[in-house]
Chains A and B, each alone.
Chain A
Amino acid sequence: MIEFSTWDILRNLLLATRWTILLSLVSFVGGGAVGLLLLFLRISKRKAARAFAKYYIELFQGTPLLMQLFLAFFGLGLFGIDVPAWLAAGLALVLWTASFLAEIWRGCVESIARGQWEASASLGMGRLQQMRYVILPQALKIAVPPTVGFSVQVVKGTALTSIIGFVELSKAGTVVTNATFQPFTVYGLVALIYFALCWPLSKSSQILERKLNVAHRNH
């Protein structure tokens, strides 16, 4: 039997961590873009658009991420589309992330005083202009801490993709365990790496929130 040093284990895990980070980034950026679109639909003047966004959000928040991954991976296969694990993982995580970010941001947009909408409307701005120049600049500041905070959930969410066979940190943990028979060391290291990724995020979310509360200034 080949002997594995702790360094061998760590090195393999770190290599797989790249995929966890990449998947997290893709999910977060893609989810942010789709989330922004959903946000606009959710607060649109059109009833159908609002309803669509509302049901989308309820659907994706109301079902386990794992089921969404399964559906993306196996479901599309039913239509004869061969979905690689990375694609299913990315797709499901983007859509899932979008539903949460859209809802977080909607709360921020709605916390902006109604007078801001009225004043900008009375100056002749259209709805998109109001959003772009008046509402979002103010909402964005409020949105930063909860958005950064949610990124932790995204990182942890990527662990589920190991189940459909995407080789990221968790999956690598299982593979390495099977080869080394040192589950405690391996999963201990896996947990430490996740912690090293997530802790700075949640900490900075807290710091940002405190800063925002201290600064009464809106600029």
Chain B
Amino acid sequence: MSLIEITEVRKSYGTNEVLKGINLDVEPGEVIAIIGKSGSGKSTLLRCINGLETITQGSISVAGAQLIDDEVHLKALRLKVGMIFQQFNLFPHLTAGGNVMLSQSVVKKTAKAEAEAMARKMLDRVGLGHKFEAYPDELSGGQQQRVAIARALAMQPIALLCDEITSALDPELVAEVLAVVRELAAEGMTLLMVTHEMKFARDVCSRVVFMHQGRVHEIGRPEEVFANPKTPELQQFLGMH
């Protein structure tokens, strides 16, 4: 059984069908890069896996549990799958430490001392142990994104969804975030990441998914996909990058 099973998933906004039957099985420890043009449905797919959008048809299961749209099931799902966003979305009224502690205390009812210890550990893991007391607006974009990663990790998810997590960063800050992701991958974390960093995808990912017009247009190991794109759409897409 795969860790994440996406079967014939369709998603429409009104009459606009954005996902047109997606099939994808993700094994534990896989790192999957999702590439494709803007508007091809990459974000929508990740958002469906996390239950931020409800799917119109098909099924998604994570670690054997079906994604069902009610608060109890969604919460259970979200404890298993963390999500990192392009815009960081840190809570601006809380310190870095507070950001990492909040959901532990509120959702998992972890005791304060324990949540704080976990927060320090996770901030250390992303190289920001010394920024525990800093507020988000005192941090660089790269640091904010690393705090967001620590915040997701503190919930001990079995998989992480990353939606263009370096796209809002100044070029010189991209590397520090990718280094953290690279380390997570090496530690065996299951990752689904939408990315434009082709070199990173080539180096780190076990499989590359090319999405086009709401479908998985091509899928394969990065060396195949990048060296021998089969479809003209992927050839064109790679030509631009």
Contacts and interface: CB of A to CB of B under 8 A. Distances in A.
Q: Max chain B CB contacts within 10 Å: which of A118, A122, A137, A138? A: A122
Contacts of B102: 123, 133-134
B78 A138 contact: no
Contact of B92 (A123, A126, A219): A219
B79 interface: yes
A115 B87 contact: yes
Interface string A91-113: 00000000000000000000001
B83 interface: yes
A124 B78 contact: yes
B93 A218 contact: yes
Nearest to B83: A122
A122 B152 CA distance: 9
B75 A126 contact: yes
A119 interface: yes
A201 interface: no
B227 interface: no
Given A134-B102, A138-B93, A141-B93, 14 more contacts: A115-B87, A116-B89, A118-B85, A119-B90, A119-B148, A121-B52, A122-B152, A123-B151, A124-B75, A124-B78, A124-B107, A125-B103, A126-B75, A218-B136
Nearest to A112: B92
B92 A138 contact: yes
Nearest to A137: B93
A27 to B, nearest CB: 30
A138 B151 CA distance: 19
A115 B93 contact: no
Given A115-B87, A118-B85, A218-B92, A123 B107 contact: yes
Given A217-B135, A217-B137, A122 B75 contact: no
Contact of B71 (A115, A126, A138, A217): A126
B166 interface: no
Contacts of B240: none
Which 9 A/B pairs are nearest by Cβ-Cβ distance? A119-B89, A218-B92, A123-B103, A115-B89, A122-B83, A124-B107, A124-B78, A137-B93, A124-B75
A211 interface: no
Nearest to B80: A124
A120 interface: yes
A138 B91 CA distance: 9
Interface string A16-32: 00000000000000000
A153 interface: no
Interface in B40-94: 50-52, 71, 74-75, 78-79, 82-83, 85, 87, 89-94
B137 A216 contact: yes
A127 interface: yes
B93 A123 contact: no
9 contacts: A115-B85, A119-B89, A119-B148, A120-B103, A121-B74, A122-B50, A123-B82, A123-B151, A133-B102
B137 A123 contact: no
B107 to A, nearest CB: 4
B188 to A, nearest CB: 21
A129 interface: yes
Nearest to A118: B52
B93 A124 contact: no
A125 B106 CA distance: 7
A124 B108 CA distance: 9
Contacts of A118: 52, 83, 85, 89
Interface string A124-150: 111101000110011001000000000
Nearest to B136: A218
A134 B89 CA distance: 11
Contacts of A121: 51-52, 74, 78
